[in-house]
């Protein structure tokens, strides 16, 4: 229905408005598994929201194959790399599929500092749980993300990868910014609580010691299916920490505005 009403949305979920002031080209990266109902709501809502901001964007749904515990950090790393193969994206929004922004003043753009977009969520009484939270929906430039060496690949199961990224960015001299809480408002779609990763805290304790050697530069994965749907690009990836693929040279050669 949405695709018929808005044929200007190109296959793969790409949108380029006519007569607009060019800002960053924005890739929306969504880690995903077993949330089909949420995905339908998310796609309809987000296309309508983003088109109103008159920006060029593409939506990439990165699905984890297999039965291993969900690894959100690895999926976002995969989304970053695979999206770069399909265009010169300059700004990356890493976005949970169960969060919807409520205020158009919440601009889906990148800035000189990383931005935590979803600071004010209804399920958390529109209050920030703690000062260094960096989850839900976040915005980083290509340079910010690569300097931090992307997300850690070590968090299998719920929790930890966002706090880890906050520390990576801090160590590289970045300071996370947020819109006013009245602007950074989101609603969370209802879902059952995920079981926390029992190993997340000891892994997080060593985050600042290992981030330069572990993350985007040591990501191991295999794309097993790639489909360009009308409203999104769907990438199904197998995550395997035993795979021998090493992408260090590709990451090292990235430049702002460039692609692999």
Task: Give me the tens of pLDDT residue by residue for the chain, a chain 260 residues long.
Answer: 677 777 889 999 999 887 766 667 999 999 999 889 999 999 999 999 999 998 899 999 999 999 999 999 999 999 999 999 998 899 999 999 999 999 999 999 999 999 999 999 999 999 999 999 999 999 999 999 999 999 999 999 988 999 999 999 999 999 999 999 999 999 999 876 667 777 788 888 888 888 999 999 999 999 999 999 999 999 999 998 754 334 444 444 444 333 32
Name, in order, each residue with C-beta under 8 angstroms of 241's C-beta and a sequence gap of 6 or more.
153, 220
- Within-domain flag for 152: yes
Angle between helices 161-171 and 72-84 (to 10 degrees): 60
Domain-located, residue 259: no
**Residue 118 domain-assigned (yes or no):** yes
257 domain-assigned:
no
In a domain, 260, yes or no: no
Taking each continuous run of H as one helix and of E as one strand, the counts in the chain are 8, 12
Whether residue 160 is contained in a domain is answered as yes
Specify the number of domains making up the chain.
Answer: 1
Q: Which single residue is written with the structure tokens 């996370």?
A: 176
136 in a domain, yes or no?
yes
Taking the model in full, what pTM does it have?
0.89
Q: State how far the Cα of 245 lies from the Cα of 218, in Å rounded to an integer.
A: 8
In a domain, 258, yes or no: no
C-beta of residue 136 within 8 angstroms of C-beta of residue 186 = yes
d(CA 159, CA 179) in angstroms, rounded, equals: 24
Nearest Cα residue to 70 out of 162, 137, 200, 158: 158
- And the tokens for 58? 């593409």
- Which structural domain range is residue 73 located in? 2-252
Instruction: Please report, for the domain that includes residue 6, its CATH number.
Output: 3.90.550.10
């Amino acid at each position: 229905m949405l695709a018929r009403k808005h044929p200007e949305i190109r296959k793969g979920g790409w949108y380029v408005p006519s007569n607009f002031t060019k800002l960053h080209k924005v890739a929306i990266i969504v880690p995903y598994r077993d949330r089909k109902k949420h995905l339908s709501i998310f796609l309809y809502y987000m296309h309508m929201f983003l088109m109103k901001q008159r920006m060029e964007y593409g939506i990439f749904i990165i699905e984890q194959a297999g039965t291993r515990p969900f690894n959100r950090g690895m999926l976002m790393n995969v989304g970053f790399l695979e999206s770069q193969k399909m265009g010169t994206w300059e700004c990356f929004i890493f976005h949970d599929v169960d969060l919807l922004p409520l205020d158009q003043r919440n601009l889906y753009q990148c800035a000189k500092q990383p931005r935590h977009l979803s600071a004010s969520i209804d399920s958390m009484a529109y209050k920030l749980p703690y000062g260094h939270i960096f989850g839900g929906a976040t915005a980083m430039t290509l340079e910010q993300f690569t300097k931090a060496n992307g997300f850690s690949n070590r968090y299998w199961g719920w929790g930890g990868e966002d706090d880890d990224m906050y520390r990576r960015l801090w160590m590289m001299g970045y300071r996370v910014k947020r819109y006013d809480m009245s602007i950074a408002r989101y609603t969370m779609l209802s879902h059952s609580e995920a079981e926390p990763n029992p190993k997340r805290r000891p892994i997080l304790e060593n985050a600042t010691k290992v981030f330069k050697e572990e993350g985007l530069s040591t990501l191991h994965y295999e794309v097993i299916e790639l489909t360009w749907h009308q409203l999104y690009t769907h990438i199904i990836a197998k995550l395997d920490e035993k795979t021998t693929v090493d992408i260090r040279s590709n990451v090292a050669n990235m430049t702002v505005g460039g692609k692999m």
